[in-house]
Chain A
Amino acid sequence: MRVPDTSRHSFAAVFLAVPAMMLLLVFFAGPFLFLLRLSFCAPPAGHGFYQADTWTTLNYTALFADAYFHQVVLFTLLLALGVTGLVLLIALPLSLFIHSLPSRQKALAVAAIVLPKLASMLVVVYGLQAMLSSAGIVNEVLQAIGLVREPLRLSRNLSGAILGETYLLLPYAVLVLVVGLERIDAALVPAARGLGASPWQAFRRITLPLLTPGLTIAAQLTLAWALGAFIGPLLLGSPDEITLAVEVHRQTIENNHWPRGAATAASLLIGVVLLLTTSGLAIRWLMRRSTP
């Protein structure tokens, strides 16, 4: 067996990793640093996006004193938590179902999950808008079977925003959970059943604990993306459904107040990171307590 020569490898590795790291540095790390710097700049005077070489904390103090901002933060949090809960509630049974299918059907089911994930969010939302409109198919069916007399208002309100965001985030969670289920030793559940466990007991005592890492990743990913909810609330919600991401878009692209928008975005970013780390730690702590 050849012993790897780490020092020589390191040199080659650096050489091979340079293009990718350059891309990440310039177009990923750079923008986030720029975002933070921008949030401390003075607003634009006349033309441009911001005044370079200025330092002020005014953007943040103005933001945190703004009652409207508090409202937006609260709405973003509630929407994200609600959507995450809804997504997990649907994704868990759906992924169990996909996992139970024979291999050919499973491939088809996974394709059915991947397509809406890869298709443009706009196209998904467009289809939803058309389906939910007052002349759309949902209302037609509801009226045809006599459930409602007047067309229901299903989009351009809170229910539209929630439904849209759930639609957009569901595929992610299902895919993560299906991968998580695939990793569980397929012999364990039949073994438990053979030893006399009921289907529910086997699920509760075998599948669920082993799926916890997958569930954690699914929940955290969904939460991170739900906190950044943008398309759903903007296109399927009403002007009342303003999330932080919508607010960032409005302040920057629409109102051209980039430092203020950057401060909003930075707050969102820090919020996402904080929520993910605390929830990660909390889950780890709970798991350690439940498994002595």
Chain B
Amino acid sequence: MIVRRLGWLLGWLSLLLLLAPLGYACWLSFTPDEFLTPPMRAWSLRWYSEFFRSPRWTSALSQSLLVGGLAVLFSLATGLPLAFALARLHFRGKLIVFGSVLLPLVVPPVLLGIGLLPTVQALGLWGSTLSLAFAHALFGMPIVCWLTRAALVGVTPDLESAARGLGASTGQVLYRVTLPLIAPSVLAGAIMAFVLSLNEFILSLFLATPETETLPRVLWPNLRYSLSPLVAVASCITILVTSAGIGIVAWLLRARR
């Protein structure tokens, strides 16, 4: 019994320890001081007002939101049709296609980044917001495809054939039956794609120029050469958005069951 209690305590403690760097960054963002000292008695929003007054940080934030939105769009445009093909059609090489879609998630991103820069340059996309969005869609597309495919497999074919039997056309079945049923999973995939793009750093390190800097890309030099509390503010903002995203995704996927 005591051993079990101890294991339970140790387990939650290690989970807390895993979250500690994120919590610590958020805590630091409320410091009233110039340095990285955690606020004990006096908390202040001083660095937040500084963050939102700084054109560099705010433009990076809006650039991150823009890239994220575009990445979601590209992920949906590519991931959704493929999910339908994987879930509903029989064709040769299906496993290979599914495997290759997941590949971007397992390759070390540094290797992808160094190849992407000259590729993007050869395509004439260097320094464009589009190049970042396409690169980030490499991570969003597999997630969208995976979640949508799972939802489609979960929709019983009986429902669709029943609708068809009652006289619905293929388009009507899609819009009135299938899409409403898979919508939560598609939305969850879209949110995941956005969160992945918002937090993606290594590809942005290779692709972003001073005009197209995303938030993590601006964090980078600050992290290497100074430890200003502004970094903590930026960290805290992304952590909040990310946790909200995870919460919504968890809720969406639970409602389906």
Contacts and interface: CB of A to CB of B under 8 A. Distances in A.
Interface of A: 4, 6, 9-10, 12-24, 26-28, 30-35, 38, 49-50, 90, 93-94, 97-98, 107, 109, 111-116, 118-131, 133, 135-137, 167, 170-171, 221, 224-225, 227-228, 230-231, 234-235, 245, 248-249, 252-253, 258, 261-262, 265, 268-269, 272
The A interface is mostly helix, strand or loop, or mixed, namely: helix
Interface in B1-33: 7-8, 10-12, 14-16, 18-25, 28
Interface string B56-79: 000000000000000000100111
Contact of B111 (A128, A130, A136, A269): A269
B109 interface: yes
Contacts of B186: none
A23 B108 contact: no
Nearest to B3: A199
Contacts of B232: 126, 130
B22 A119 contact: yes
20 contacts: A27-B116, A27-B134, A30-B119, A31-B115, A31-B119, A49-B117, A50-B118, A94-B14, A119-B22, A119-B199, A122-B220, A127-B25, A129-B223, A133-B36, A135-B36, A137-B24, A224-B107, A227-B108, A230-B108, A262-B114
Interface string B118-139: 1101110000000000110110
B168 to A, nearest CB: 18
B181 interface: no
A230 B24 contact: no
Contacts of B239: 115, 119, 123
B242 A118 contact: yes
Contacts, number: 247
B91 A13 contact: yes
A119 B242 contact: yes
B85 A248 contact: no
A27 to B, nearest CB: 5
B206 interface: yes
Interface residues of B, number: 86
A235 B223 contact: yes
Please give me the 3 A-B residue pairs with the lowest Cβ-Cβ distance, nearest first: A228-B108, A127-B21, A31-B115
Interface in B168-216: 195-196, 198-202, 205-206, 216
B110 A170 contact: no
Interface in B89-114: 89-92, 97, 100-101, 103-104, 106-112, 114
A22 B220 CA distance: 31
Contacts of A19: 77-78, 81-82
A211 to B, nearest CB: 18
B167 to A, nearest CB: 19
Given A19-B82, A27-B119, A111-B246, A128 B21 contact: yes
Nearest to B91: A13
Contacts of A21: 97
B241 to A, nearest CB: 10
B138 A224 contact: no
B21 A116 contact: yes
Contacts of A171: 18
A28 B103 contact: yes
Given A16-B85, A119-B199, A224 B108 contact: yes
B246 A118 contact: yes
Contacts of B89: 4, 9-10, 12-13, 16
Nearest to B121: A49
B108 A20 contact: no
Contacts of B199: 118-121, 123
Contact of A24 (B101, B108, B110, B198): B101
Given A34-B118, A114-B246, A170-B18, A28 B219 contact: no
B85 A13 contact: yes
A17 B81 contact: yes
B90 to A, nearest CB: 4
Contact of B90 (A6, A24, A32, A245): A6
